[in-house]
């Protein structure tokens, strides 16, 4: 039996070259890595303004006794304070879950059956610890079904969590969630659509759309009056995108395609876009909380190379004068500023992003000061990058 650790102690295993790469874009690498193990102090949701006003949702949430606040900058954003850290006891009975599940249970979510890896010998009603990979205990809760069922069930509640390392309201269990009144999204991710600034009548392409956070925001931002085309190459991700759109009530307002966006210019030669959002897969180094992480510099190199393939196609599918917004949830130069340098080489020009919050990247550590950068250890949000470019 492996040694169990409570709430923290997961290691961040980054190879020497990755640390060196990080030191070019993150001034204090230790503080950065140290911040990844805890959640930010604020947990954001975006109000679906096509269904409800921010004020009305605020009142309903306050009506449940929840602590919720308006964001100072973004009108459609509300946030909840993340409470903790709390102490979780080792109760001697364990249900093992996958990393993604462990990271949401870490901040207070319940365990649903698909996230369960092993629940041998657990009986309904047992008090158990939820344990993530590497033996990290993230919560205590009550099993609501027997262990064998948890392992087999395709969906449904497995463990009701009542003590976790950090705590947030169980938002997905609210009627307001089912009604599609909000979408959980980080502050910089919400900001990205503001940077894109799509207008009614625009043809907007979301090249890497699933699970649909930004696609759905584009619909809301334009009151459903832009022509939005959303692409993703993965069948299961397309399903999640469609579920998001259906829950929010946007299903008729987006054209969804399963396609490899590296070839959109060839497979969809009729596309002439006003705006393109490119939010490609990345090393996700800015995402937190993480109970542990393992990455190598080669992951950065491979991601950066992959991302450039999309940038090239974004250029081809845009009208002259069209806008590309490029965003990632990572902090390396290779996947961010260096890719923007590549974009400039093929004919894009960077447009300065209005600085609402975030680091303007002045100083020798940065490629230029036209882009937006967010750091978890400085701005207390997801580590993020946003750049705006025009096709000239």
- Asked if 279 touches ligand SAH (CB under 6 A), the answer is yes
Beta strands in 55-112 (DSSP E): 69-70, 77-81, 94-97, 111-112
Q: Which of 112, 231, 366, 367 binds ligand SAH (CB under 6 A)?
A: 231
- Asked if 213 touches ligand SAH (CB under 6 A), the answer is yes
99 half-sphere exposure, CB direction, 13 A CA radius:
10
> Minimum distance between the CB of residue 242 and ligand SAH, rounded to whole angstroms?
13
Contact (Cβ atoms closer than 8 angstroms) between residue 2 and residue 254: no
Indicate the Cα dihedral angle 308, 361, 33, 170, nearest 10°. -80
Q: Which of 205, 208, 228, 350 binds ligand SAH (CB under 6 A)?
A: 208
Closest CB to ligand SAH among residues 66, 259: 259
Q: Which of 220, 232, 299, 334 binds ligand SAH (CB under 6 A)?
A: 232
| Residue 341 to residue 359: CA distance in whole angstroms | 19
| Residue 325 to residue 390: CA distance in whole angstroms | 9
Indicate the Cα dihedral angle 255, 228, 246, 54, nearest 10°. -170
- Asked if 191 touches ligand SAH (CB under 6 A), the answer is no
Structure tokens at 133: 């990979």
> Minimum distance between the CB of residue 357 and ligand SAH, rounded to whole angstroms?
19
- Asked if 188 touches ligand SAH (CB under 6 A), the answer is no
> Minimum distance between the CB of residue 158 and ligand SAH, rounded to whole angstroms?
25
Q: How many residues bind ligand SAH (CB under 6 A)?
A: 19
Q: Is 138 helix (H, G, I), strand (E, B) or coil?
A: strand
Which has the closest alpha carbon to 384: 332, 338, 349?
A: 332
Contact (Cβ atoms closer than 8 angstroms) between residue 164 and residue 86: yes
> Minimum distance between the CB of residue 105 and ligand SAH, rounded to whole angstroms?
21
Closest CB to ligand SAH among residues 159, 304: 304
| Residue 224 to residue 250: CA distance in whole angstroms | 8
In this structure, is the dihedral angle defined by the CA atoms of residues 312, 239, 281 and 253, taken in order, positive or negative? positive
Q: Which of 128, 165, 204, 209 binds ligand SAH (CB under 6 A)?
A: 209
> Minimum distance between the CB of residue 300 and ligand SAH, rounded to whole angstroms?
16
- Asked if 237 touches ligand SAH (CB under 6 A), the answer is yes
> Minimum distance between the CB of residue 85 and ligand SAH, rounded to whole angstroms?
28
| Residue 363 to residue 360: CA distance in whole angstroms | 9
Site string for ligand SAH, 258-277 (x = CB under 6 A): --xxx---------------
- Asked if 193 touches ligand SAH (CB under 6 A), the answer is no
Q: Which of 281, 338, 342, 378 binds ligand SAH (CB under 6 A)?
A: 281
> Minimum distance between the CB of residue 283 and ligand SAH, rounded to whole angstroms?
12
Helix axes 235-248, 213-221, angle to 10 degrees: 40
Q: Which of 159, 210, 313, 350 binds ligand SAH (CB under 6 A)?
A: 210
| Residue 192 to residue 182: CA distance in whole angstroms | 17
- Asked if 96 touches ligand SAH (CB under 6 A), the answer is no
- Asked if 211 touches ligand SAH (CB under 6 A), the answer is yes
CA distance to 84, 262, 357, 374, per residue, from 360 (Å): 31, 30, 9, 9
- Asked if 315 touches ligand SAH (CB under 6 A), the answer is no
- Asked if 225 touches ligand SAH (CB under 6 A), the answer is no
Closest CB to ligand SAH among residues 187, 231: 231
- Asked if 372 touches ligand SAH (CB under 6 A), the answer is no
Q: How many other C-beta atoms lie within 10 A of the C-beta of residue 364?
A: 5
Q: Please give the positions annotated as active site.
A: 329
Query: Applying CB under 6 A, which residues contact ligand SAH?
Result: 189, 208-214, 231-234, 237, 260-262, 279-281
């Amino acid at each position: 039996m492996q040694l169990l650790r409570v709430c923290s102690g997961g290691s961040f295993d980054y190879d020497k070259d990755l640390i060196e790469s990080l030191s070019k874009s993150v001034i204090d690498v230790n503080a950065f890595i140290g911040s990844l193990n805890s959640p930010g102090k604020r947990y954001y949701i975006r109000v679906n303004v096509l269904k409800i006003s921010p004020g009305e949702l605020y009142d309903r949430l306050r009506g449940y006794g929840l602590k919720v606040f308006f964001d100072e900058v973004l009108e459609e954003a509300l946030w909840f304070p993340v409470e903790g850290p709390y102490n979780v006891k080792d109760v001697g009975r364990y249900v093992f879950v996958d990393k993604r599940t462990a990271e949401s249970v870490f901040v207070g979510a319940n365990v649903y059956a698909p996230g369960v890896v092993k629940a041998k010998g657990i009986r309904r009603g047992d008090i158990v610890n939820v344990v993530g990979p590497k033996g990290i205990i993230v919560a205590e809760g009550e099993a609501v079904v027997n262990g064998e069922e948890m392992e087999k069930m395709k969906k449904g509640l497995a463990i009701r969590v009542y003590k976790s390392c950090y705590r947030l309201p169980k938002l997905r269990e609210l009627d307001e969630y089912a009604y599609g009144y909000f979408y959980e999204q980080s502050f910089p991710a919400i900001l990205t659509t503001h940077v894109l600034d799509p207008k009614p009548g625009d043809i907007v392409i979301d090249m890497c759309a699933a699970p649909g956070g930004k696609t759905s925001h584009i619909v809301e931002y334009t009151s459903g009056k832009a022509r939005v085309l959303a692409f993703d190459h993965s069948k299961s991700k397309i399903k999640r995108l469609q579920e998001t759109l259906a829950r929010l009530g946007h299903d008729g307002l987006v054209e969804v395609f399963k396609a490899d966006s590296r070839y959109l210019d060839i497979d969809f030669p009729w596309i002439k876009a006003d705006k393109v959002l490119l939010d490609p897969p990345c090393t996700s180094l800015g995402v937190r909380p993480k109970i542990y992480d393992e990455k190598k510099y080669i992951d950065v190199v491979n991601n950066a190379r992959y991302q450039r393939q999309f940038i090239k196609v974004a250029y081809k599918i845009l009208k002259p004068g069209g806008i590309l917004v490029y965003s990632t949830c990572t902090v390396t130069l290779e996947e961010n500023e260096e890719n923007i340098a590549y974009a400039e080489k093929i004919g894009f020009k960077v447009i300065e992003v209005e600085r609402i919050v975030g680091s303007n990247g002045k100083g020798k550590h940065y490629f230029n000061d036209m882009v937006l950068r967010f750091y978890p250890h400085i701005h207390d949000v997801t580590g993020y990058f946003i750049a705006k470019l025009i096709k000239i």
